[in-house]
Structure 1
Amino acid sequence: MSVASLPISINSPVLRRAGGKSVVSEQDSGETTEEGLLFPSELVDMKNGVEMKSGIALMHGAAIAPSPILLWRLKILLFFAWGISCCKISWDSVMRMSADLRDLFLYEAFLYYNPLLLVTLMVFLWGLNLWVFSQSSVNYSKVFDLDHNYLMHKEMWKCATWMAIVVPTSMTAYLYLYSHGEVLLAASQPVILYAIVVMVLIFPFDIFYLSSRYYFLRTLWRIILPLQPISFADFFLADILTSMSKVLSDLERSICRMVNHQVATIAWFEADSICGSHSVMIPLVLVFPYVCRFFQCLRQYKDTKEKSSLLNALKYSTAIPVIFLSALKYHVLPEKWTNFYRPLWLLSSILNSLYSFYWDVNRDWDLSVFSRIFKFKNPNLCSSLFYGRIWVYYWVLSSNLVLRCTWTYKLSAHLRHNYLTVFTVTASEIFRRFQWVFFRVENEWNKMTLKTNSGLKLEEMATEEDRLLSSSSHEV
């Protein structure tokens, strides 16, 4: 055998047998020792053996690592176990309190944790909106003018899951510590929770979705001060804030109690308390999202000169009498409220509800052409249940009308003591807004698509016209 026929160096350690000697070339005699060399067939056997050992090692590693389905089931099991534990501890803590203070203390706990629980619900439903958009033809990233770092539905659900863990945990600790006499530690729980939420929002380092957090904060700033042209994201978030006006009102009362050191007390329930239920700040905070939306419409009219912007501003202005007429109940005589102000309040509530319902259907949704949002790219259970079903539109229209009326009723400043009813109505309004998002975003996407197609057609016509005019030969 000639050594020169080997394709690689004869002194390569890869070619040596285990324990073999080094190959020494004898140039004088022209002969080369072949001891310790691996032949091509032996090289193939070694390669196959290494591959078999690697495959076995991978099989052992795969057998040791748990499957994603098993991990998912384990997470769900732990989540439910944690939820049951929180419910049990909270129930036992509440039952330790005296009966005359129990309802008042539950109302206070509701005041602190109701806003964040409802925000958690909104985040989860927004993730569901994004999932539907990702499965359909609606390109929501272009609608909101997002960069490549925007959050998908999985990230939104992850945020909602963490919020659903942290907020009830803090609430359970609050109830447990107060029922066991640790009032100062109990009072610190909502303060710590709100401080964590603020820090997560404004944290300047590139963690916790920095670009998305700052995009959200910039949009909030543009809503408060509409000094530049209004984008669709500005309108959209301001509309969502109108559905969260009761949440903002409870948030203001919670912060007021924390600033004035009234946490874990019941003195706040009195009428003369700084943060009590008769505070003038309640109607001011309730009306704030509607005022912001009103000025946005005026700014849009200034930029576009569209009369529909003025009509939209008129719609938001109809919510102002509902809020302030209701607040007068605590500042006028009962007879005057019953005979004069309450009829005006009911009339303004009906006007606001019907006007808002008309605008939803005719302007925000444009259901005259029947929306196609539930047509998914890949047919599945959701598309078979919703797409092309006429009952979907009947349900959306009827539920939107009913929930519009109940939400307008709940905007009233004098209806704030039954916290379970308040929570139910506010959660229902969030669900109504969740439905509204589907058709509003799709309608905006349809407008953008139509405008783009029209622009392309005009460009093609202009190109064809230039080509004909530039032609040097014409036949008559």
Structure 2
Amino acid sequence: MYFPVAFQVLFLAQLAAIGWGANLRLLSNAGIEVRPVLQLAQLPTASRSDDRPDDGLHKNVFRLARVLAAVTATGWLLSALASSPAMQTWLTLLTYVAVVGIVVQPQRILCHTVRMQFLGSLVRIVVPSMVSPVFLSDIIMADILTSCARTFADMRLVVCQFVSLAWPSEAGTCTDTGFLGALLVAMPYAFRLRQCVNEYLNAVPGSAEARRHLANAVKYASSFPVICLSAMHRRAEIEASAGVKQSSWILRPAFGLWVLAVAFNSLYSYYWDVAFDWNLGHTRSGWKLADCVVPSVSASLASSSVPGAADEMSELAIPRDLVSPADALARNMYVPTTKRSFPRLLRPQLRFAWTWLYYAAMMIDFLLRITWTMKLSSYIRIDQMAFGGFWLNVLEVYRRWQWTFLRIEKEAAL
């Protein structure tokens, strides 16, 4: 089957765009006003058109995704029918030019507002700044980019393919880009780390908010040892396959460090997803998972000797939605009758009545966070499976889709 890396990258990007549109539609159908949650009206690129109802937002995202998918599918089919590898490369290059041209063209046509919001968010993410405000839409976009890190690494192969077409003499030097691949993988995490440091510097010194941003920065910083050790291990595998003798006293400790680094990063990231990004893990006594890293006022009072103080502060710290139970049921929302009646290990305020959705999301997120363990199995060789890397990226797109869904739901429930 003709499905080269260049088109895998395009299809994954458009799958993520379709998932974003599905997020917006489902959240809008549930009665969640997405625009104020994402702070779209506060963006520097905001315009009067941003005040339209939420249904226009997801419709524009779907419309743009359909156009880009049609262009990509056409280029893919033409490339598959091409008679020579050179013609296939030229058609692939034209497909990329068409896709990028549609996204960046400045005319007020074809979902102009959505495209400008996307490009403006990319600029704010990439351009370093320690004083500019960090909007929730930019945070979510930067987190989505971290899920595309493997796709960025594949982009170096695409660039090499185009370079070899334009400058055949440089084809040999372009293939040896292990350092460039590791740099491309690390870039999204560096962008997100910069956002965390920015928020930390702009928070009140010593406050719980400042500690939370610092702890979040540690999460993204922990990805860099994983990337460096992975690049080192991959380089050793390539040299071993080429017949270069490797020193076992270096490779074995490096592999052990890689296991420790990836385990810490995966488990800490999963904990952050549940405890902070989704604000789950609450107990009916007032303690929650987030208190392990950033203790709240209610948790501090719960450990004190003042009876009833924790319950009182928990009551004040957790506002209730001013929605009747009948309206909540009609809008698929869950509103607890008392602060002690919420489902176990979730939170007092949930915007969806289907509590199984939250439990399923936590379980799936954990399983997809630890997919790296398949590399430790001698029976599962993802790299040797047909399009194994592509399907891993598809699973990561799904994981980020459900993360985004509950991330926005949590902000709306506050």
TM superposition score normalised by structure 2: 0.70
Deviation at 1:398, TM superposition (A): 1.1
- Are positions 1:287 and 2:186 aligned together? yes
Counterparts of residues 357-396 of structure 1 (less than 5 Å): 357-368=270-281, 377-378=330-331, 387-396=352-361
- Are positions 1:405 and 2:366 aligned together? no
* AA at the equivalent of 1:275: T
- Are positions 1:135 and 2:24 aligned together? no
Hey, what's the Cα distance between the residues in 2 that align with 1:334 and 1:172? 46
Identity percentage of aligned residues: 29
For residues 241-294 of structure 1, give each alpha carbon's deviation from its aligned partner in whole angstroms, at most 9, with x where no partner exists: 00111112212331232134279x9x97xxx64135x52111100011001111
Deviation at 1:165, TM superposition (A): 2.6
Partner of 1:9: none
Partner of 1:350: 263
Q: 2:51 aligns with which of 142, 148, 155?
A: 148
* AA at the equivalent of 2:158: S
- Are positions 1:245 and 2:149 aligned together? yes
- Are positions 1:254 and 2:158 aligned together? yes
Partner of 1:168: 73
Counterparts of residues 302-313 of structure 1 (less than 5 Å): 302-305=201-204, 306-313=210-217
CA spacing shift, 1:199–1:163, aligned 2, 3 Å: closer
Hey, what's the Cα distance between the residues in 2 that align with 1:391 and 1:334? 50
Deviation at 1:311, TM superposition (A): 0.2
Conservation of the 8 A alpha-carbon contact between 2:278 and 2:407: yes
For residues 2-38 of structure 1, give each alpha carbon's deviation from its aligned partner in whole angstroms, at most 9, with x where no partner exists: xxxxxxxxxxxxxxxxxxxxxxxxxxxxxxxxxxxxx
- Are positions 1:437 and 2:339 aligned together? no
Deviation at 1:364, TM superposition (A): 0.5
Conservation of the 8 A alpha-carbon contact between 2:178 and 2:231: no
Q: 2:92 aligns with which of 190, 196, 216?
A: 190
For residues 295-323 of structure 1, give each alpha carbon's deviation from its aligned partner in whole angstroms, at most 9, with x where no partner exists: 11001011113111010000001111111
Conservation of the 8 A alpha-carbon contact between 2:196 and 2:217: yes
Number of residue equivalences: 322
Partner of 2:13: 119
* AA at the equivalent of 1:202: V
Unpaired segments of 5 or more residues in structure 2? 41-49, 205-209, 237-245, 284-319, 322-327, 334-350, 376-380
Hey, what's the Cα distance between the residues in 2 that align with 1:379 and 1:325? 46
Partner of 1:275: 175
Conservation of the 8 A alpha-carbon contact between 1:290 and 1:317: yes
Partner of 2:413: 446
SS at match of 1:152: helix
SS at match of 1:261: helix
Unpaired segments of 5 or more residues in structure 1? 1-90, 92-105, 381-385, 448-476
Hey, what's the Cα distance between the residues in 1 that align with 2:394 and 2:222? 23
Give 4+ residue runs of structure 1 displaced > 4 Å after superposition.
369-372, 375-380, 407-410, 414-419
* AA at the equivalent of 1:164: A
- Are positions 1:212 and 2:93 aligned together? no
* AA at the equivalent of 2:188: P
For residues 190-219 of structure 1, give each alpha carbon's deviation from its aligned partner in whole angstroms, at most 9, with x where no partner exists: 110111112112211111222221111111
Conservation of the 8 A alpha-carbon contact between 1:137 and 1:377: no
Conservation of the 8 A alpha-carbon contact between 1:174 and 1:186: yes
TM superposition score normalised by structure 1: 0.62
Conservation of the 8 A alpha-carbon contact between 2:86 and 2:165: no
CA spacing shift, 1:200–1:219, aligned 2, 3 Å: same
Hey, what's the Cα distance between the residues in 2 that align with 1:363 and 1:379? 23
* AA at the equivalent of 2:387: L
Hey, what's the Cα distance between the residues in 2 that align with 1:211 and 1:252? 30
Hey, what's the Cα distance between the residues in 2 that align with 1:159 and 1:417? 35
Hey, what's the Cα distance between the residues in 1 that align with 2:261 and 2:392? 19
CA spacing shift, 1:338–1:262, aligned 2, 3 Å: farther
Deviation at 1:415, TM superposition (A): 7.9
Hey, what's the Cα distance between the residues in 1 that align with 2:389 and 2:77? 21
Hey, what's the Cα distance between the residues in 2 that align with 1:137 and 1:401? 28
* AA at the equivalent of 1:139: E
Partner of 2:220: 316
Conservation of the 8 A alpha-carbon contact between 2:30 and 2:332: no
Deviation at 1:156, TM superposition (A): 2.2
SS at match of 1:138: coil
* AA at the equivalent of 2:369: R
Hey, what's the Cα distance between the residues in 2 that align with 1:199 and 1:244? 21
Conservation of the 8 A alpha-carbon contact between 2:139 and 2:195: yes
Hey, what's the Cα distance between the residues in 1 that align with 2:116 and 2:60? 16
SS at match of 1:207: coil
